[in-house]
Amino acid sequence: MSDNIRELADTSYRSESYDEAYDYYSRLLEENPDDAEAWVRKGVSAAWKSSLDDDRFKELYVSLEKAEEKGQDIEDADISGRIVGAAEDYIDEIYAFFDEKIEDKRKEAMGTGTLESVKRENVKTEGFVQGGKLASEWLKAFKAMKYACELHPSTKRCRKSIREIDKLRAHSDEFKEYLTQNNDAAGLHKEIMSIREELLETARDIDPEFKPEKVETGGGTSSGGCYIATATVGYEQHPMLFTLRRFRDEHLLTNPLGRAFVSTYYATAPYLARVIERSELLRSLSMRLVVKPLYHFASHLDSDR
């Protein structure tokens, strides 16, 4: 019986079906609490089950500590990579929650006759409030990333983690610098930047020439041009846009066919973006049919780097 459960557990884990994997490894540990590998995989699966209502990173740390006590080598590249992936998934959920609140505020102002400048200010203020409230959630994800990079140092994982921190800093700047100016985030900005410095040191211990990717925060070729995506998400420093810009710069602009597509897009997209921006229905359709699918495709390419 336990052999069957083990096979189901390992298959679920390899296929990244973490809900099922968590349940199977829990059953294995009920039968044998000394199963060190099951402790590791249950912990990693727990991290992937995290949500804003129930973050499971503490369970990850405790489970891996248990595994190490029982003789398991946890300084493993696969474990480290899966933890970074879980943290990235958690960060995506934070931004999705943030965007939902911003969209609700934007809808409140539609059709009220309020000046556009006042509407934009109300949205910025809502972002400032929500960003302060959510800062502690981003910090949890960054701590998990740092932990992963300590388990098995890698410039790739350090670069990803630093990039996420820099994307958050740009996001904060878009909404009245909530990381530094909102009392709800007091003290957390310093801790986040400390994690960034530690990640940078870890990467440079491996490669003294290591340089983190530059996250554009306005102006220049790399920060502009995603007209339809920007109109859809509502603001220039949305984290999805950084991924889409990188996809454009590193994949489309590096070959003749891609450059031709980008040139055609730039000629037609500004008009389409203005139309989309004014319609809640078109923004919703664009998000579901264009922006999200392309973002997931670009993210998949990035995960293989």
User: For residue range 41-65, what is the model confidence (pLDDT) as tens digits?
Assistant: 999 999 999 999 999 999 999 999 9
Q: Which long-range contacts (CB under 8 A, 24 or more apart) does 55-64 make?
A: 55/90, 55/137, 55/140, 57/140, 57/143, 57/144, 60/86, 60/144, 61/147, 63/39, 64/39, 64/40
Flag whether pLDDT at 220 surpasses 90.
Answer: no
Question: Element (H or E) spanning 113, and its range?
Answer: none
- pLDDT surpassing 90 at residue 96: yes
Is the pLDDT assigned to residue 219 strictly greater than 50? no
Task: Say what the pLDDT of residue 33 is.
Answer: 96
CB within 8 A of 296, min separation 6: which ones?
none
Find the range with the poorest average confidence among 47-56, 89-98, 242-251: 242-251
- Quick one: pLDDT band at residue 280, thresholds 50, 70, 90? confident
pTM, two decimal places: 0.85
Cα–Cα distance measured from residue 157 to residue 148, given in angstroms and rounded to the nearest whole number = 8
Q: Could you give the percent of the chain with pLDDT greater than 90?
A: 61
Domains annotated on the chain, with CATH: 2-69 (1.25.40.10), 76-215 (1.20.1440), 216-305 (no CATH)
Maximal CA-CA distance, the chain: 67
Residue 115 in contact with residue 29, Cβ under 8 Å? no
pLDDT, one tens digit per residue, over 145-180 is: 999 999 999 999 999 999 999 999 999 999 999 999
pLDDT band, very low/low/confident/very high, at 223 (cuts 50, 70, 90)? very low
Count Cβ neighbours within 10 Å for each residue of 227-250 and write b for 16 or more, e otherwise: bbbbbbbbbbbbbbbbbbbbbbee
